[in-house]
Amino acid sequence: MTYARLLATGSYLPERSLSNADLEKMVDTNDAWITARTGIKKRHIIAEGQGTVDLAENAARAALEAAGMEASELDLIVLATTTPDNPFPSTACLLQQRLGVHGFPAFDIQAVCSGFIYALSTADSFIRAGNAKKVLVVGAESLSRLVDWTDRGTCVLFGDGAGAVILEASEEPGILSTHLHADGRYYDHLAVNGQLSGGEVKDGAGYISMRGNEVFKFAVNNMSQAVLEALAKNDLNKEDIDWLVPHQANQRIINAVGKKLKLSADQVIMTVAEHGNTSAASVPLALDTGIRDGRIQRGQTLVLEAMGGGFTWGSAILVY
Ligand code: ACO
């Protein structure tokens, strides 16, 4: 049987960061409120002139270096983003050009904060079907460009960044299963409602709008369910999880999911304080952190989960 095995990871955060104290000067908020409600301490903001592809390239190069691989060995790029640099071409194609390679398929996936899980699942399917052997999967976002910096209800939450993984076809266990879901009935709970036409945003606003309380409840339930689904599919129990690598939206959401799964805090990779919610970049950023600081070890069982606008949500279970 062919598995998609996780070879290496990389990540990148833009240089400029915005602390809670910085936000206090912009909107009516304070560090105590943001910390207590979200656990976020700072978020990184893309520089003017930088694009999502710049973030993606830095993360991808870090992953390639960690894998000891050249980009020419890849045969697929799947890139998850909600904030492509252009309506087209895809950011995946821009990234392919940056990496100096061409010919093999490269495409974007848009599933907002679940984008990385969707991209990982897609790459896994390509590998299992024998249609790819070495795949670069990236989550990259410049969400700060969709944030209304006068709306204290949303501007404290989001930030920019990128994470990348390299998957390789292997006979050794890697990704055991992935589980994707969507429910478009909730399309308006978390959205950017504007439409692009004639070179301008029309019929709505170009900023994130969110029903925070409702999103919170759905996030806890849906992500916990997705983890249980992954365990059940593989005849595993909660005790078999070595690490939960959750979507980094809010410390309270992560804690609530961990509690439902009866995991101790030191089995959960938590990086949200450092970068806020980076949407599709959040899971690979956390994964890269856990692997590079040595907590996540080869042979351990990891569960990844995420939920985002759409709603979309999902999980992946893998042996590292
Ligand atoms: N600073 C200070 N006060 C604030 C701020 C702020 N930045 N934002 C809101 N408040 C106020 C509100 O106006 C309200 O005041 P009021 O009681 O006088 O009306 C009070 O704080 C409480 O507001 P709530 O919205 O009830 O606060 P809550 O505890 O629900 O926290 C939050 C809000 C953090 C947005 C929470 O609902 C949340 O995290 N939701 C999930 C959102 C999310 O993660 N979205 C990301 C995308 S989806 C995903 O990634 C899973």
Domains of the chain: 3-172 (3.40.47.10), 176-319 (3.40.47.10)
Closest ligand 1 atom, CA of 247? 50
Q: For the chain, what percent of residues have pLDDT higher than 90?
A: 96
Cα–Cα distances in angstroms (integers) from residue 289 to residues 8, 15, 106, 284, 308, in the given order: 12, 17, 26, 8, 22
CA gap 318, 320 in Å, rounded: 6
Q: Which ranges of the chain would DSSP assign to H, the alpha helix?
A: 20-24, 31-38, 52-67, 91-98, 115-128, 152-155, 212-233, 251-260, 272-275, 282-292
pLDDT of amino acid 35: 98
Determine contact, residues 80/163, Cβ cutoff 8 Å.
no
Is 155 known to be catalytic? no
> Which pair of structure tokens corresponds to residue 51?
């694009």
Is 222 known to be catalytic? no
Q: What type of residue sits at position 4?
A: A
pLDDT of amino acid 121: 98
Distance 313 CA to ligand 1 centre (A): 21
Distance 212 CA to ligand 1 centre (A): 6
Determine contact, residues 298/320, Cβ cutoff 8 Å.
yes
Average pLDDT, the chain: 97
pLDDT of amino acid 199: 82
Instruction: Identify the residues whose C-beta falls under 6 Å from ligand 1.
Output: 29, 33-34, 37-38, 113, 152-153, 156-157, 190, 210, 212-213, 215-216, 219, 247, 249-250, 277, 307-308
Q: Residue 197: pLDDT above 90? A: no
Average pLDDT over residues 236-253: 97
Q: Which ranges of 87-147 would DSSP assign to H, the alpha helix?
A: 91-98, 115-128
pLDDT of amino acid 280: 98
Q: Residue 88: pLDDT above 90? A: yes
Residue 129 confidence class, pLDDT cut points 50, 70, 90: very high
Active-site pick, 20, 58, 113, 179: 113
pLDDT of amino acid 289: 98
Per the listing, tokens 């204290």 go with 152
> Which pair of structure tokens corresponds to residue 316?
């992946």
- Report the DSSP pairing between strands 106-109 and 76-80: parallel
Determine contact, residues 57/98, Cβ cutoff 8 Å.
yes
Burial class (CB in 10 A: 0-12, 13-18, 19+), 280: buried
Average pLDDT over residues 292-317: 98
Torsion of CA 99, 104, 105, 106, to 10 degrees: 0
Q: Residue 196: pLDDT above 90? A: no
Q: What is the pLDDT of residues 144-195, one digit of tens each?
A: 999 999 999 999 999 999 999 999 999 999 999 999 999 999 999 999 998 8
Q: What is the pLDDT of residues 29-68, one digit of tens each?
A: 999 999 999 999 999 999 999 999 999 999 999 999 999 9
Instruction: Flag the least confident range among 17-26, 62-71, 196-205.
Output: 196-205
Q: Whose CA is nearest to atom 36 of ligand 1?
A: 212
Q: Whose CA is nearest to atom 9 of ligand 1?
A: 153
pLDDT of amino acid 202: 84
